[in-house]
Structure 1
Amino acid sequence: MNVVSLLPVFMIGLLGSVHCVGMCGGIVSAFSFSATSRRTIPIKVVNNATNSSRPSRGNLPTVLAYNAGRIASYATAGAIAGGVLQGARTLTGIAVFQVEAYWFVNLLLVALGLYLTGIWQGLNQLERVGGMLWRYIQPFTRFLLPINSIPKSMALGVLWGWLPCGMVYSMLLTAMLSGTAVSGAAVMVAFGLGTLPTLITMGMLGTRLKSWMQRRAVRVISGLVIVIFGVLGLLRASHGLPGSWMDAVCITPMSVQTTP
């Protein structure tokens, strides 16, 4: 997977960050409040549990550390996912999937776009599966609160990176189909970087951005753009996967060979 083919992954992260606002918004928006208040700030987390956080340093370093930890977890998961397929291909000597993988990835993009618009919620099933792992991880977050140091903030981000999220899981499947552990990690880093602008801004502005990002119109527009990415990819697949300018807007798994 080359740099150009990672551009649509970044864009999906950027557009899909309207969903991240709901998943991570409680914790990152608390950073902005604590920057101007000396009170303990409650943070709403999964299952309506509450914790408290009060960064003792500047707002931006704390937010950056949290997101660095989160993206590190994404990269680790992507490397594992890509390595699974790489190992299977090495053991069997068979180039698995090929064009079928390309069709699957782009159908998944259409599903992700519909998920963001609220039209279809099938990816919630993936979140329920991930919830089984999160039950074991979540208790460790209480040892990092209050967030009074940069290392604590980064460690919390590392744990939060495993929060059940249908959007993240859909990108992990894309990372798996990229073909190798390195490219799988690259996919998830590109995705994580795409979510970064929104979550950093929310860490600075708090609920002011969250209320705007959670408007239905914003979610629908973002979801429909991702649907368009998927449809363009499917159209490309139906025409023999020709290499073209569409590389910049279509996800292409490493195992798929394109012709110039």
Structure 2
Amino acid sequence: MPETGYLAVFLIGLLGGTHCVSMCGGIVGALSMQVQVPGSRPQWPLHLAYNLGRIGTYTLLGAGVGLLGSVGLLYEGMLPVQMTLYVLANLMLVALGLYLTGFTRLLAPIERVGHLLWRRIQPATRRFLPARSVGQALPLGMLWGFIPCGLTYSILATALVTGSGARGAGLMLAFGLGTLPNLLLAGMLFKRFRDITRHPRVRLASGLLVLGFGLFGLYHAPSLGGDLWRGVVCVT
């Protein structure tokens, strides 16, 4: 299967890392403080477990959203439905790019809606705190995957267009792996890396690049993204 679409989503996760660190900085900082005690084990296995749990949740959500999209594509007039979902997904990427640059807070209302679900899930995290082992860190990371995030919601919107649970899962897996370097570095070098990602030029550059992905997708909407999203979008 061609992999250009998965590579594009991986890059969006990587470029959107400034938002990840900003959004999850408090969580990363708290987790870092828990494992920085005299005589404690190395930090990296716990941080890796947190993030693998988070990526696992993204993958499961992608599978569910992809299946939901496949149901929508069963109706007659499949192409109009597919086109609508595709345009919506790329408009979300445009909004995300503008959000990352700081030009607008378009995704803030969507994140506030996500907080309604997060309020119900967050109390469950207390069962695994303080996390001193991989067995505690992994489920904590899975719960962390539900934290309201405009970046995640933007890619989930794209997963709708895949028309497949497997492709939706693969899409979110690629996205999660793209976010991994930023959040691992944030965990290991929290303050130094957070200062870098908060630099206005870094945020502007990453936002403009993500914005470019969304605009490219909209320009190529008649072909459902052309080569860029090949392997992800179910072209009929």
Q: Structure 1 length as normaliser, TM-score? A: 0.82
Which residue does 2:107 correspond to in 1? Answer: 123
1:131 Cα deviation (Å)? 0.9
Q: Distance in 1 between matches of 2:43 and 2:110?
A: 33
Kindly indicate whether residue 61 of structure 2 is the aligned counterpart of residue 82 of structure 1: no
Q: Secondary structure at the match of 1:182?
A: helix
Counterpart amino acid of residue 234 in structure 2:
S
Aligned counterpart in structure 1 of residue 182 of structure 2, from 178, 188, 198: 198
Aligned equivalent of 2:9: 9
For CA contacts below 8 A with separation 6 or more, give which structure has more relative contact order.
Answer: 2
The answer on 1:255 being equivalent to 2:224 is: no
SS of match in other structure, 2:118: helix
Residue 191 of structure 2 corresponds to 207
The RMSD of aligned alpha carbons is: 2.3
The residue type paired with residue 188 of structure 1 is M
User: C-alpha displacement at 1:160, in angstroms?
Assistant: 0.5
5 Å-filtered alignment, 1:66-105, equals 66-90=50-74, 92=75, 94-95=77-78, 97-105=81-89
Contact kept in structure 2, 1:233 and 1:251, CA below 8 Å = no
Off by >6 Å, runs of 4+ in structure 1: none
Cα drift, residue 9 of structure 1: 0.3
Worse-matched range after superposition: 60-69 or 19-28: 19-28
Question: What CA deviation, in whole Å up to 9, does each residue of 1:173-221 have, x standing for no partner?
Answer: 1111111111111111111100001111112111111111112221111
1:237 deviates by 2.9
Matches within 5 A, 1:92-241: 92=75, 94-95=77-78, 97-237=81-221, 240=223
Provide, for residues 9-53 of structure 1, a one-character-per-residue CA deviation record: whole Å limited to 9, x for no partner: 0010001110110222223244555555339xxxxxxxxxxxxxx
Percentage of matched positions with identical amino acids:
46
Q: Greater CA radius of gyration, 1 or 2?
A: 1
| Separation of aligned partners in 2, 1:100 and 1:159 | 31
Counterpart-to-counterpart distance in 2, 1:184 and 1:69: 18
Whether the 8 Å CA contact 1:21–1:210 is kept in 2: the answer is yes
- Relative to the length of structure 2, the TM-score reads 0.90
- The corresponding residue for 1:50 is none
1:29 touches 1:205 (CA, 8 Å); kept in 2?
Answer: no
Whole-Å separation in 2 of the counterparts to 1:88 and 1:224: 32
**Partner SS, residue 196 of structure 2:** helix
Asked if structure 1 preserves the Cα contact closer than 8 Å seen for 2:3 and 2:231, the reply is no
Question: Whole-Å Cα distance in 2 between the matches of residues 128 and 31 of structure 1?
Answer: 24
* Stretch moving more, 68-77 or 101-110: 101-110
Question: 1:70-91: CA deviations, max 9, x gaps?
Answer: 001101111111111212334x
- Residue in 2 aligned with 1:38? 38
Cα distance in 1 for partners of 2:57, 2:225 equals: 34
